[in-house]
């Protein structure tokens, strides 16, 4: 099957230009002007007035994550389909090692969840809950197998939390095996102390989830794990960075030449602690780190994205229904499952608020939603690029189309949207995954099981600073 995309503006991280794109089978065969006159194709897609961009890559999702006595509601089928509707063609999900388990057991569980179900390509990071001699040795095997990143937590004592010596040991292991440590950087024990005080004072509403998790607790943990990584001569990637205190730690580290990288998420650019108010309705917005004060955080995060102190915007997609799941925390905010639905809206929110909002160029938009995640996570130039030889993961994007975000029309498995009623501009018309059109004009045309596991390479992080 050959598909020719004509008359579009190809937008890449490096620049934008008029060109046609020829797809042959699963890959991009040619990019150039006037291809229609020289090649034949089974289908021609007219992209007049549209952008032709590499498919979005969301490197932070949690399909079916066990959390707070329940499970994130999207499966690989429903979650990857929702991602595709939103112009994302690759996700990297977090496999979970439970305490006492081998990494292998957790990873095999995630292979089984995804295989035959995902509609777009996927990779895995490994959550390490238990660092010991056996799991440290297992890390080398996972790196060789194409799962080269490991998430550890300074948050969630008793669940995913690791003490500093375990984090340092895991970092040392990646120095040897070329992998990358991803850190959830919040001071969990300090947060738990404040949260216990708040609950004892009768402050049990979701709003206090935001109050308990002081910005300094994120800043302190971010600085700590970066310093540990420096001591181990290891790269480190801070996930879901939410606040200026933490951003300043990353800035300082990068200024002194450290291999420190970080992502933020749409919820930290567009939502605020005010959303956690409104009684128990605020439970819809409970995630960790929490939503922060709008000022100065939103603008500082945008500045961080512009200046490359933040390299990626992912979603941390982790959807729970309001009814039945978030409600587990009525009367005690500590029991609200942490996480938000988001995988479907990232590309459009970033276009609407970022590009049209005057915060970033459309080239930087492509870079932070696709190209940089591909580079940092060992998929470039197979993913994240519109070049001959790359996977034909392509989105024909309409920068003019307007839509209203709503739980009534979204495809994520969540009974609410954090952006309910928002009117935004910019939407994916055609979404192609390895040469197959999976979404066309709002209709799903893909296939469960089309998505393949992406064996990812390690990266030369020193060259990425
Ligand atoms: O609230 C969040 N972020 N839930 C998902 C788990 C995590 O920490 O990423
Ligand atoms: Zn986390
Ligand atoms: Zn997460």
**Both tokens of residue 139?**
């890390």
Q: What is the position in ligand 1's atom list of the atom closest to the CA of 338?
A: 1
Query: What's the pLDDT band for 371 if we cut at 50, 70, 90?
Result: very high
Q: What is the position in ligand 1's atom list of the atom closest to the CA of 72?
A: 5
- Cα 288 to Cα 185: distance, rounded to the nearest angstrom: 10
> Which residue range is the domain that position 297 belongs to?
55-381
What is the CATH number for 433? 2.30.40.10
Mutate to test the pocket of ligand 1, among 210, 221, 266, 316 (most ligand atoms within 8 A of CB): 316
- Centre of ligand 3 from the C-alpha of residue 13, in Å: 26
Long-range CB contacts (within 8 A, 24+) of 303-309: 304/247, 304/250, 304/251, 304/262, 304/264, 305/264, 305/354, 305/359, 305/360, 305/364, 305/368, 306/359, 306/360, 306/364, 309/247, 309/250, 309/251, 309/254, 309/262
- Centre of ligand 3 from the C-alpha of residue 240, in Å: 7
In a shared domain, residues 301 and 228: yes
In a shared domain, residues 327 and 438: no
Contact 385, 374 (CB under 8 A): yes
Contact 19, 7 (CB under 8 A): no
Nearest CA to ligand 1 atom 9: 316
- Centre of ligand 2 from the C-alpha of residue 239, in Å: 7
Does residue 452 sit within a domain?
no
In a shared domain, residues 23 and 103: no
- Domain end, chosen from 346, 363, 381, is at 381
What is the predicted pLDDT for the residue at 362?
98
- Centre of ligand 1 from the C-alpha of residue 457, in Å: 25
Query: What's the pLDDT band for 192 if we cut at 50, 70, 90?
Result: very high
**Both tokens of residue 288?**
């960790």
In a shared domain, residues 411 and 321: no
Does residue 131 sit within a domain?
yes
In a shared domain, residues 132 and 79: yes
- Centre of ligand 3 from the C-alpha of residue 61, in Å: 6
The CA-atom distances, in angstroms, between 16 and each of 32, 57, 147 are 12, 19, 33
Nearest CA to ligand 1 atom 5: 339
In a shared domain, residues 39 and 178: no
Ligand 1 interacting residues, C-beta cut-off 6 A: 62, 184, 240, 287-288, 316, 318, 338-339
Strand partners, 9: 18, 51
Does residue 141 sit within a domain?
yes
Q: Reply yes or no: is the peptide bond before residue 59 cis, omega within 30 of 0.
A: no
- Cα 416 to Cα 276: distance, rounded to the nearest angstrom: 14
- Centre of ligand 2 from the C-alpha of residue 153, in Å: 7
Does residue 461 sit within a domain?
no
Nearest CA to ligand 1 atom 4: 339
Q: What is the position in ligand 1's atom list of the atom closest to the CA of 60?
A: 9
Does residue 282 sit within a domain?
yes
- Centre of ligand 2 from the C-alpha of residue 277, in Å: 22
Residue 76, class by beta-carbon neighbours within 10 Å (0-12 exposed, 13-18 middle, 19+ buried)?
buried
**Both tokens of residue 274?**
């005010």
- Cα 421 to Cα 440: distance, rounded to the nearest angstrom: 23
Tell me the pTM: 0.98
Q: What is the position in ligand 1's atom list of the atom closest to the CA of 94?
A: 9
DSSP percent split of the chain into helix, strand, coil, nearest 5: 35, 25, 40
The ligand that comes nearest to the alpha carbon of residue 58 is 3
Alpha helix stretches (DSSP H) within 180-293: 188-200, 207-212, 215-231, 244-255, 266-270
What is the overall mean pLDDT for the chain?
98
Query: What's the pLDDT band for 433 if we cut at 50, 70, 90?
Result: very high
Where b means 16+ CB within 10 Å and e means fewer, 242-255 reads: bbbbbbbbbbebbe
- Cα 92 to Cα 82: distance, rounded to the nearest angstrom: 14
User: What is the total count of domains within the chain?
Assistant: 2
Query: What's the pLDDT band for 187 if we cut at 50, 70, 90?
Result: very high
The ligand that comes nearest to the alpha carbon of residue 182 is 2
Contact 190, 217 (CB under 8 A): yes
- Centre of ligand 3 from the C-alpha of residue 71, in Å: 13
For tokens 């490197």, the residue is 59
In a shared domain, residues 315 and 343: yes
Measured over all CA atoms, what is the biggest interatomic distance in the chain, rounded to whole angstroms? 74
CA 50 vs. chain centroid, Å, equals 25
**Both tokens of residue 118?**
């995902």
- Cα 370 to Cα 88: distance, rounded to the nearest angstrom: 9
Query: What's the pLDDT band for 273 if we cut at 50, 70, 90?
Result: very high
- Using a pLDDT cut of 70, give the percent of the chain over it: 100
- Centre of ligand 1 from the C-alpha of residue 332, in Å: 18
State the Cα angle at 56 between 336 and 344, rounded to 5°.
Answer: 40
What is the CATH number for 242? 3.20.20.140
Nearest CA to ligand 1 atom 3: 288
User: For residue range 96-118, what is the model confidence (pLDDT) as tens digits?
Assistant: 999 999 999 999 999 999 999 99
Does residue 17 sit within a domain?
yes
- Centre of ligand 1 from the C-alpha of residue 234, in Å: 24
The ligand that comes nearest to the alpha carbon of residue 65 is 1
At 54, is the secondary structure helix, strand, or coil? Answer: strand
What is the predicted pLDDT for the residue at 224?
98
What is the predicted pLDDT for the residue at 435?
98
In a shared domain, residues 327 and 397: no
What is the predicted pLDDT for the residue at 28?
98
Query: What's the pLDDT band for 183 if we cut at 50, 70, 90?
Result: very high
- Using a pLDDT cut of 90, give the percent of the chain over it: 100
Mutate to test the pocket of ligand 1, among 61, 62, 159 (most ligand atoms within 8 A of CB): 62
Phi, psi of 57 (to 5 degrees): -125, 115
- Domain end, chosen from 381, 415, 432, is at 381
User: For residue range 298-332, what is the model confidence (pLDDT) as tens digits?
Assistant: 999 999 999 999 999 999 999 999 999 999 999 99
Does residue 234 sit within a domain?
yes
For tokens 């056996």, the residue is 134
Contact 181, 143 (CB under 8 A): no
Q: Where are the beta strands (DSSP E) in 372-461?
A: 394-404, 423-433, 436-440, 443-444
For tokens 């994916």, the residue is 428
Q: What is the position in ligand 1's atom list of the atom closest to the CA of 288?
A: 1
In a shared domain, residues 296 and 440: no
Q: What is the CA radius of gyration of the chain?
A: 21
Nearest CA to ligand 1 atom 8: 288
CA 4 vs. chain centroid, Å, equals 30
Residue 18, class by beta-carbon neighbours within 10 Å (0-12 exposed, 13-18 middle, 19+ buried)?
exposed
Strand partners, 28: 23
**Both tokens of residue 45?**
């897609």
Contact 188, 157 (CB under 8 A): yes
In a shared domain, residues 232 and 279: yes
Q: What is the position in ligand 1's atom list of the atom closest to the CA of 239?
A: 9
* Total residue length of the chain: 465
In a shared domain, residues 359 and 394: no
- Cα 162 to Cα 324: distance, rounded to the nearest angstrom: 30
**Region of 384 on the Ramachandran plot (φ > 0 left; ψ -120 to 50 alpha; else beta):** left
- Centre of ligand 2 from the C-alpha of residue 360, in Å: 26
Nearest CA to ligand 1 atom 2: 339
**Both tokens of residue 388?**
């001959």
Ion ligand 3 contact residues with beta carbon within 5 A:
316
Average pLDDT (204-222) is 98
State the Cα angle at 60 between 59 and 65, rounded to 5°.
Answer: 140
Ion ligand 2 contact residues with beta carbon within 5 A:
184
What is the predicted pLDDT for the residue at 245?
98
In a shared domain, residues 388 and 361: no
**Both tokens of residue 292?**
């922060």
Does residue 463 sit within a domain?
no
């Amino acid at each position: 099957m050959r598909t020719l995309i004509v008359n579009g503006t190809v937008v890449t991280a490096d620049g934008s230009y008029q060109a046609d794109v020829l797809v042959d089978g699963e890959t991009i065969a040619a990019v150039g002007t006037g291809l229609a006159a020289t090649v034949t194709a089974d289908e021609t897609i007219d992209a007049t007035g549209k952008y032709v961009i590499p498919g979005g890559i969301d490197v932070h999702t949690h399909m079916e994550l066990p959390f707070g006595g329940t499970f994130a509601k999207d499966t690989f089928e429903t979650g990857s389909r929702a991602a595709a509707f939103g112009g994302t063609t690759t996700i990297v999900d977090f496999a979970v090692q439970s305490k006492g388990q081998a990494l292998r057991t957790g990873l095999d569980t995630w292979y089984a969840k995804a295989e035959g179900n995902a509609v777009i390509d996927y990779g895995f990071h490994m959550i390490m809950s238990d660092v010991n001699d056996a799991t440290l040795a297992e890390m080398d095997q996972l790196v060789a197998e194409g799962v080269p990143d490991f998430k550890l937590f300074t948050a969630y004592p008793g669940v995913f939390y690791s003490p500093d010596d375990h984090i340092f040991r895991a970092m040392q292991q990646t120095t040897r095996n070329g992998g990358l440590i991803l850190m959830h950087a919040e001071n969990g024990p300090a947060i738990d102390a404040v949260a216990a005080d708040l609950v004892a004072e009768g402050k049990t509403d979701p709003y206090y989830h935001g109050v308990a998790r002081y910005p300094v607790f994120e800043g302190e943990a971010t600085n700590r794990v970066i310093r540990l990584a420096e001591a181990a001569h290891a790269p480190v990637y801070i996930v879901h960075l939410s606040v200026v205190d933490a951003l300043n730690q990353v800035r300082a580290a990068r200024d002194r030449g450290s291999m420190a990288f970080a992502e933020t998420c749409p919820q930290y650019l567009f939502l605020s602690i005010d959303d956690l108010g409104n009684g128990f309705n605020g439970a819809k917005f409970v995630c960790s780190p929490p939503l922060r004060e709008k000022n100065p955080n939103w603008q500082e995060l945008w500045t961080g994205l512009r200046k490359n102190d933040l390299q990626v915007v992912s979603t941390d997609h982790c959807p729970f229904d309001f009814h039945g799941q978030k409600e587990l925390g009525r009367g005690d905010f500590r029991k609200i499952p942490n996480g938000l639905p988001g995988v479907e809206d990232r590309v459009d929110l970033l276009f609407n608020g970022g590009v049209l909002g005057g915060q970033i160029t459309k080239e930087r938009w492509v870079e932070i939603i696709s190209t940089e995640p591909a580079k940092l996570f060992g998929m470039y130039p197979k993913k994240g690029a519109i070049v001959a030889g790359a996977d034909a993961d392509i989105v024909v994007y309409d920068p003019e189309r307007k839509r209203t975000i709503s739980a009534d029309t979204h495809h994520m498995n969540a009974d609410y949207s954090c952006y309910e009623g928002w009117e935004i501009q910019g939407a994916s018309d055609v979404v192609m995954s390895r040469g197959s059109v999976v979404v066309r004009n709002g209709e799903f045309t893909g296939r469960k099981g089309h998505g393949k596991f992406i064996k990812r390479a390690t990266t030369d992080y020193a060259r990425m600073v």
